[in-house]
Amino acid sequence: MKYMLLIYGNQEKWGSIPAETWPEAIAKQDAFNKKYQGTGELLGAYGLADAAAARLVRRTDGTPAVTDGPYLETKEYLASFYLLDCENEQRAFEIAADMPWADVEPVEVWPVLHEAAADL
């Protein structure tokens, strides 16, 4: 079964982390990624740009309309997501708990209910 792990962040949180600790934090995350890629359970790990770089796209009269976005009423935003393929929900929880930041911030675990093949 597939699961999404979601990590949220905000500029205040990222700004409070001393710059000299980032290399170690990134190394821990890379080790996590390699560990679960090696088991075949991590299908992908994706870090997102700052929320200020996000855009909203709507279609107006058949034409794309792109505006600044997202419309967030909170400081928190989606910072990264991970796609797992593991045998059950309990295993997804175990992997989420092994995430390097899980002792500081929660990790959301979402079951993936539908999937469309990318090669349609």
CATH of the domain at 25: 3.30.70.1060
Looking at the domain assignment, is residue 86 inside a domain? Answer: yes
Q: How far apart are CA 50 and CA 68, in angstroms?
A: 13
Looking at the domain assignment, is residue 117 inside a domain? Answer: no
Looking at the domain assignment, is residue 25 inside a domain? Answer: yes
Looking at the domain assignment, is residue 120 inside a domain? Answer: no
Per-residue pLDDT of the chain (120 residues; tens, 9 = 90+): 999 999 988 777 777 888 899 899 899 999 999 999 999 999 999 988 877 788 888 999 999 999 887 665 567 788 899 999 999 999 999 999 999 989 888 999 999 998 887 766
Looking at the domain assignment, is residue 119 inside a domain? Answer: no
Number of domains within the chain: 1
Looking at the domain assignment, is residue 79 inside a domain? Answer: yes
Boundaries of domain holding 68: 2-111
DSSP string covering 36-80? HHHTT-EEEEEEPPPGGG-EEEEEETTEEEEEE----SSS-EEEE
Looking at the domain assignment, is residue 83 inside a domain? Answer: yes
